[in-house]
Structures are given as structure tokens and as C-alpha cells.
Amino acid sequence: MSSLSYQEVPPQELREKWFKSHLLGREVELKELYDMPQNELDLIMAETAELRSDPDNRDRNLGKYCTAGYFLELSKIIDRRRMLE
């Protein structure tokens, strides 16, 4: 599996932005997605997709809802790139 190295992570994704994953049992920083094993990336995609699929989550915690969307979309991009390699 070829993944982007730390130096190839876009600068805007190097700032601290994290998602507290209950499935992984830890906080995940955005930049970690690039080097994350596929099974963990799959769990992040599932967990964030679940958060985004419930409109009530937006009303309860807009910040977490938006962060989940960002993590979900970036995870999907990384997943597609890996499949093409």
C-alpha cells in the first residue's frame, strides 16, 4: 500500500483538527487519515457517515456534524486514491 508521506499532506490539513472516534476509542487528527490502515479508515468512514445521516445531529452539535463531514469526505478521497493505486 502506497500512501502519502507526511510531507505531502496539504498545509491546511496539518493544523490540528480532530474527531473523537468511539469505534477506534481515540481522537484522530485529520492528518492521520493519510497513513491510517485501511480497516481503521473504513471505521472512520462508517462512523462519520452515521453521524451525517441523522439530521438531528446537526441541531445537537453543529461543530461535530461539520467535522464529521470533513473527515468523511477526506476519507472517501483517500480511499478512492488507494483503490486506484
Residue-wise pLDDT for 64-80, tens only, equals: 999 999 999 999 999 99
5-56 pLDDT, tens digit each: 445 666 665 567 789 999 999 999 999 999 999 999 999 999 999 999 998 9
| Chain CA centroid to CA 27, Å | 11
Say what the pLDDT of residue 6 is.
45
CA–CA gap between residue 1 and residue 19 (Å, rounded): 24
Say what the pLDDT of residue 48 is.
97
Domain boundary assignment for the chain: 17-84
8 Å CB contact between 3 and 35: yes
Q: Which residues touch 76 (CB under 8 Å, ≥6 apart)? A: 45
DSSP-based helix, strand, coil % in the chain, nearest 5: 65, 10, 25
